[in-house]
Structure 1
Amino acid sequence: MINPLDLYAKIESLIGFDAQYEMLYQNYLEILNALHVKRVLDVGCGNGRFLKHLKDNGFEALGIDRSTKMVERALALGVRASTKELCECEAESFECVVAIADVLNYIAPLEINAFLDDVALVLPKGGYFICDVNTLYGFEGVAEGVMYHDNGTQFLCVDATFANKELLTKIVLFEKEHELYRKEEGSITQYFHPLSFFKKLISFKLVSTRPIILFGDEPDKTLLIFQKR
């Protein structure tokens, strides 16, 4: 079975959320400019489009992602990106870390504290961490459901179910090869993290939050701004 992250890389263009993500990127750029930081680490940088925004706006940025295919796309845009792990980054080497498009929702509750500890290590005291997480509405009112896409050579089915504060997304992709179709499938789990959890962190102080509406009629994301204690 294909790596779920690489499978998502294959279907990304079929989903077509470019306009919504562009709106999200602009929120991040506005905040970064207001914070007057320069050295930024983009964790889970994906296809590198936000890294390109950072480069074009004069930031010194590096992106890391666990999907080799996504990193290849990022490098093609002329930005700095790699598959290195967050824990491999040099201590206090960035002024700000960003984790965009619900990266934290892919981290299980039992693992999120360790992730945040790794984020804290690459920041100096007073450094910033900015991320966004899905609201309950974002899971129940937007993400849950079934989506189909058929362009003649590719047929995609995405089936997402939200239960017990977890969203299980099953992905099935058929790609035409001559007269036959090749099937690839995988699943991705996302986890709901309540805002109350982020208000009690030891390494970070929650400075402010911003509701974001991308896909629905009410906020489906919350953008969080932290400062290292």
Structure 2
Amino acid sequence: MINPLDLYAKIESLIGFDAQYETLYQTYLGLLKPLHVKRILDVGCGNGKFLVHLKNEQLSACGIDRSAAMIERARALGVEASTQELEAFEEASFECVVAIADVLNYIAPAQIDSFLEAVVRVLPKEGYFICDVNTLYGFEGVAEGVMCHDTEDQFLCVDATFEHNELLTKIVLFEKEGDLYHKNEGSITQYFHPLSFFKKLGAFKLCSTKPVTLFGDEPDKTILILQKR
């Protein structure tokens, strides 16, 4: 079975969220500028488009992602990206780490502490971690439901259900190969993380939050600016 993240890479163009993600990228850039950071790590960099923005701002940046397909796409844009894990980098390697567009929501509550510890390690004292998390509205009012899309050569069905603070998204993709169709399927689980969790972190202080409305009538994401103590 295909890696769910690589399956998402296959359907990314069919979903068509480019305009919303560009809005999110511009919001991040606006938050980064006053911090005057130079060395940035983009965790879960995906297709590398935010790294291109950082490069255009003359910032030193690299990205990591667990999808080899996404990394290939990012490198094609001329940015530095790899499938390395956070643990591969030296201590205090970056002045800022960013995790954009659902990255934290892919991390289960039982694993988020170890992820944040890995982020802390690659930052110096007073270094920044900027990330976003989905609001309850983002899950219940936006993500939950069924979406289908078809082209001449592809048919996609995405079915998302939100229960017990978890969003289970089932993906089925049919791709035409000659006279037949090849089926790929997989599932991705995302988790709701309340803001109260980030207010109690020992290694980070929560400097500020910024609500963002991308898909609905009210904020579906919250951007967090955290600073290492």
Task: Using structure 2 for the length normalisation, give the TM-score.
Answer: 1.00
CA distance in 2, matches of 1:187, 1:211: 28
CA distance in 2, matches of 1:93, 1:118: 12
The Cα of 1:50 is off from its aligned counterpart by: 0.2
Q: Are 2:224 and 1:224 equivalent residues in the alignment?
A: yes
CA distance in 2, matches of 1:91, 1:66: 21
Correspondence for 1:124:
124
Q: Are 2:158 and 1:158 equivalent residues in the alignment?
A: yes
CA distance in 1, matches of 2:86, 2:189: 21
3-state secondary structure, aligned to 1:202: coil
CA distance in 1, matches of 2:31, 2:94: 16
The Cα of 1:87 is off from its aligned counterpart by: 1.2
Correspondence for 2:182:
182
Aligned residues: 229
Correspondence for 1:209:
209
The unaligned stretches of length 5 or more in structure 1 are none
3-state secondary structure, aligned to 1:47: coil
3-state secondary structure, aligned to 1:9: helix
CA distance in 1, matches of 2:26, 2:183: 36
Task: Using structure 1 for the length normalisation, give the TM-score.
Answer: 1.00
CA distance in 2, matches of 1:8, 1:172: 10
> What per-residue deviation string (whole Å, max 9, x for no partner) do you get for residues 11-59 of structure 1?
0000000000000000110111111001000000000000000001111
CA distance in 2, matches of 1:68, 1:12: 14
AA aligned opposite 2:10: K
AA aligned opposite 2:175: E
Off by >3 Å, runs of 4+ in structure 1: none
AA aligned opposite 1:166: E
3-state secondary structure, aligned to 1:190: strand
Alpha-carbon RMSD across the aligned residues, in angstroms, is 0.4
The Cα of 1:184 is off from its aligned counterpart by: 0.4
3-state secondary structure, aligned to 1:181: strand
AA aligned opposite 1:124: P
Identity within the alignment, %: 76
